[in-house]
Amino acid sequence: MGDPRRETPAKLGLDLKAQRLTVTWHDGHVSTYDAPFLRFVCPCAGCRGHAPGDVIPPAWEQVKSARVVGGSQVGGYAIQLAFDDGHASGIYAFDRLRDACPCCTGPFDPAVPRGL
């Protein structure tokens, strides 16, 4: 665990119209995640496996038009997101979301599968 102010959301905004999750962190930083990005980095065992090589992670081509249909907070540490392809097993831990903040990590490479 790092700085709890950095990794705890002060405000969670799941905008189904804009297809975007916005997290305002306790340290004042605001992170915005687009639905296809969230589907791409889905951390569930079905997408990532338990060990490298277990499963084939989702490719960008498969998920680039994915839409979020709902989300619910899991305890104080994560948000679970449901997508329109029926996939709803991804639990997105806030500390990992913060580490993956698109404005801090720069443009991601869709050719490289990447878990949260």
Binding mask 1-40 for Zn ion (x = CB under 5 A): ----------------------------------------
Q: What share of the chain is helix, strand, coil (3-state, %, to 5)?
A: 25, 30, 45
Interface with Zn ion (CB under 5 A), residue from 35, 42, 78, 116: 42
User: Taking the complex as a whole, how short is the minimal distance between the CB of residue 53 and Zn ion, in angstroms?
Assistant: 16
Handedness of CA 101, 102, 106, 111 (dihedral sign): positive
Distance CA 58, CA 52 (A): 14
Interacting residues with Zn ion (CB under 5 A): 42, 44, 46-47, 90, 101, 103-104
